[in-house]
Amino acid sequence: MKEKIYEFLMRLREKGHRRLIDEMLWVYRYARLYRKQMFFYTALGLVGTAVSLLSSLVSRDMVDIITGHETGLLVRTFAIFIGLNVGNIFLNQTSTYFSNRISISVDNAIKADVFDQMLVTDLESLQKYHTGDLLTRWSNDASTISGGILNWIPNLIIYTVRLVSTFAMVFYHDPWFALIAMLGMPVSILTTRHMLNKMRQTNNSVAAMNAKMTGFNQETFSNIQTIKAFDMIRLYSRHLRGLQAEYLDMRMTFQRLSLTASAIMSLAGLAISYSCYAFGIYRVWSGAISYGTMTMFLALSGSLSTTLNQMISLIPTAVGISVAAGRLIDIMDMPKESFAAGRLVDEFWEKNRDAGIHMHLTDITYRYRAGTSVFSHAEFEAHPHEIVALVGPSGEGKTTLLRIMLSLLHPQSGRAYVYGSATPDMIKLIPSTRRLFSYVPQGNTMFSGTIAENMRNVKENASDEEIVDALKMACAWEFVERLPSGIHSPIGERGKNFSEGQAQRLSIARALLRRAPILLLDEATSALDPATEEALLKNIMRDDYPRTCIVTTHRASVLDICSRVYEIKDKRCVPMNPLPANRYPK
Ligand SMILES: Nc1ncnc2c1ncn2[C@@H]1O[C@H](COP(=O)(O)OP(=O)(O)O)[C@@H](O)[C@H]1O
Ligand SMILES: [Mg+2]
């Protein structure tokens, strides 16, 4: 039994180490890209160290000249001393300027990379995380990494060189003094070691808490209307305070621990600096060293203990970096979509541009990772010039089926293909085949920006005329035309300055402008009055583009103009024949 527990503990430990090693390697791979910047940063720090050592030597000479211990040119020594100090100020400023510049560009580069990776992450994997959490990982954790990469290794080098050279200089003058000055080291190391485990835990929980708060705030601000309407202001304000109290509590528990540790280290430091002082006075009194040497020792011993503390503080920083790396690895390691077949899909579309594209789903089984089983052995097909409807009660899987067509979700089994009218090629539905689709999602999915900008998101080089044509076809021109700035009118966050029906028509216009061979409309006309809806669908029908159109709907008015109807029922997708013209009362 005992052995088993031991074995289990060892396995856990091994796992923990592997994780740490993975994290370090991951950071290292990034760090390697920024070697030059790190080198520059290190060089600046080393020059600074050399200057300050030199200035302590000069200051020794100066004191010795003043106290008459040595003869020399006082004015010249003084001038050098001032020169070195002034030089040090300039060096510091220059180094700050460049290090800021470098750190912002590295931060940008890493964040851009994380952003890109997030965008190509498999949808279902990514959606396991709250957007607030993703945002925190993208901003805080990526910043910790970039800051860490730029500072950690250069600082390790700079501090080590500074510690060794200062120590050597003191040692050269007086070995005993050097040993006394380093007496604090074991105390600092022991206290830090004791803190390490706690640090990792705290860093992890603080990051999780930050993510929770960001998510909470984000949700609050984007749902402010609901919060007001349901009179939930006090409730939400209480929730926030609850979260803050939790945060405070967590931080303070750690703070108490780290205060104790730093008090121990400071007390040890104080004892050592008194000892250095006493020892210095004794050495001057016994005639072993000059006043100048003593002042130099005192300055150097101060710098030794500062550097030592700085070196030790690299440990918690490393813990912070590894925790942040772990949180980013979670995101970066999720399955990614591949767009390698983009060219192939383009060629396929080019060949079938005039004839249109068919879609065929066979024996599809799909279950969300959260557990909901939505399809089992579902069949579906749609062809150019058809409008095919998907009907069924809410929550049966209409939207899910469209997501499968878009390859946003991947069926566990079954075949999902598109094939051309002009060629015998078939292509499996993959992320690259999304370029064959235009999609009008459920809900308001316009972005902030002007109407024209929103339209050009899907077709960068669209002319104003093309945009107006698409708006006309989607029956949106009638209200856009009346806006003071026309297609250059601003759309708020999630389309907030438009009515739902208007936003739907803008969204349809956007999909039409893209002019893809397959058009998916997900309850896209649900907020329109019947007359507008009919006009809009007829416009789409009249267009002689060989479009394959798939709509989900509850409305009989839509079914009237459909070529075929499928009903989603009992996890299947069943063709309805004859068309249920009178099954859905108008
Ligand atoms: N992202 C998701 N994760 C887990 N389950 C989901 C998700 N989206 C939808 N579902 C579930 O899948 C089922 C079908 O949803 P959906 O396709 O949106 O229905 P419909 O569009 O027909 O109203 C529902 O029972 C819903 O609970
Ligand atoms: Mg739906």
Summarize the confidence of residues 88-112 as an average pLDDT.
86
CA of 440 to the centre of ligand 1 (A): 17
- pLDDT value of position 582: 39
Considering only CA atoms, which of 441, 451, 450 is closest in space to residue 511? 441
For residue range 476-485, what is the model confidence (pLDDT) as tens digits?
A: 999 999 999 9
- pLDDT value of position 430: 96
CA of 397 to the centre of ligand 1 (A): 6
CATH 3.40.50.300 in the chain, residue ranges: 342-576
CA of 462 to the centre of ligand 2 (A): 30
Summarize the confidence of residues 235-253 as an average pLDDT.
94
For residue range 364-375, what is the model confidence (pLDDT) as tens digits?
A: 999 999 889 999
- CA 292, 295, 298, 303: dihedral to nearest 10 degrees? -90
511: confidence class by pLDDT, cuts 50, 70, 90: very high
CA of 553 to the centre of ligand 2 (A): 9
Site to substitute for ligand 1 among 129, 375, 400, most atoms within 8 A of C-beta? 400
Ligand number nearest to the C-alpha of 409: 1
Q: Tell how strand 437-440 and strand 518-522 pair up.
A: parallel
Percent of the chain with pLDDT over 70: 95
Summarize the confidence of residues 89-99 as an average pLDDT.
85
> Which residue type sits at 324?
A
Nearest Cα residue to atom 24 of ligand 1: 395
Site to substitute for ligand 1 among 129, 398, 399, 406, most atoms within 8 A of C-beta? 399
Considering only CA atoms, which of 560, 570, 437 is closest in space to residue 510? 437
CB of 398 shorter than 6 A to ligand 1: yes
218: confidence class by pLDDT, cuts 50, 70, 90: very high
Q: At what angle do helices 142-173 and 291-332 cross, to 10 degrees?
A: 160
Lowest mean pLDDT among 186-195, 274-283, 343-352, 547-556: 186-195
Distance, CA of 556 to CA of 584 (rounded, Å): 5
- pLDDT value of position 581: 46
342-576: CATH topology: Rossmann fold (3.40.50)
Site to substitute for ligand 1 among 374, 398, 569, most atoms within 8 A of C-beta? 374
583: confidence class by pLDDT, cuts 50, 70, 90: very low
Ligand number nearest to the C-alpha of 378: 1
274 contacts: CB under 8 Å, gap ≥ 6: none
For residue range 473-509, what is the model confidence (pLDDT) as tens digits?
A: 999 999 999 999 999 999 988 888 899 999 999 999 9
For residue range 452-462, what is the model confidence (pLDDT) as tens digits?
A: 999 999 999 99
Query: 378 pairs with which residues across the strands?
Result: 364
Handedness of CA 33, 36, 37, 42 (dihedral sign): positive
Can you tell me whether residue 521 is helix, strand or coil? strand
CATH 1.20.1560.10 in the chain, residue ranges: 2-332
586: confidence class by pLDDT, cuts 50, 70, 90: very low
Nearest Cα residue to atom 2 of ligand 1: 368
Distance, CA of 482 to CA of 486 (rounded, Å): 7
329 contacts: CB under 8 Å, gap ≥ 6: 22, 23, 26
261: confidence class by pLDDT, cuts 50, 70, 90: confident
Residue 134 CB coordination number (10 Å): 19
Distance, CA of 445 to CA of 399 (rounded, Å): 15
CB of 374 shorter than 6 A to ligand 1: yes
User: What is the distance, to the nearest Å, from the Cα of residue 507 to the centroid of all Cα atoms in its chain?
Assistant: 28
- pLDDT value of position 585: 32
Nearest Cα residue to atom 7 of ligand 1: 368
Ligand 1 atom index nearest CA of 396: 22
CA of 400 to the centre of ligand 1 (A): 6
Q: How far is CA 142 from CA 40, 114, 131, 178, in A?
A: 22, 8, 16, 41
For residue range 158-178, what is the model confidence (pLDDT) as tens digits?
A: 899 989 998 998 888 888 888
283: confidence class by pLDDT, cuts 50, 70, 90: confident
Sheet strands side by side (includes 548-552): 437-440, 518-522, 548-552, 387-391, 564-569, 572-576
State which of 14-23, 93-102, 510-519, 537-546 shows the largest mean pLDDT: 510-519
CB of 390 shorter than 6 A to ligand 1: no
Q: How far is CA 58 from CA 45, 162, 457, in A?
A: 20, 18, 65
CB of 393 shorter than 6 A to ligand 1: no
Handedness of CA 93, 99, 103, 104 (dihedral sign): positive
Structure tokens at 125: 């994997």
Distance, CA of 292 to CA of 43 (rounded, Å): 30
- pLDDT value of position 13: 58
Can you tell me whether residue 419 is helix, strand or coil? strand
Site to substitute for ligand 1 among 368, 380, 402, most atoms within 8 A of C-beta? 368
Summarize the confidence of residues 395-407 as an average pLDDT.
96
User: What is the distance, to the nearest Å, from the Cα of residue 565 to the centroid of all Cα atoms in its chain?
Assistant: 42
CA of 441 to the centre of ligand 1 (A): 14
- pLDDT value of position 345: 95
- Specify whether domain 2-332 bears CATH 3.40.50.2300: no
If phi > 0 it is left, if psi is from -120 to 50 it is alpha, else beta; for residue 397 that is: left
**pTM for the model:** 0.84
Q: What is the mean pLDDT of the chain?
A: 88
CA of 548 to the centre of ligand 1 (A): 24
- pLDDT value of position 484: 94
- pLDDT value of position 164: 92
Tell me which of 520 and 146 has the higher pLDDT: 520
For residue range 220-239, what is the model confidence (pLDDT) as tens digits?
A: 999 999 999 999 999 999 99
Ligand 1 atom index nearest CA of 392: 22
Residue 584 has pLDDT above 80, yes or no: no
Site to substitute for ligand 1 among 131, 372, 401, most atoms within 8 A of C-beta? 372
Letter string b/e over residues 74-109, b meaning 16 or more CB atoms within 10 A of that residue's CB: eeebbebbeebeeebeebeeebeeebeebbeebbee
- pLDDT value of position 384: 92
CA of 218 to the centre of ligand 2 (A): 24
Nearest Cα residue to atom 17 of ligand 1: 397
Distance, CA of 107 to CA of 162 (rounded, Å): 27
CB of 370 shorter than 6 A to ligand 1: yes
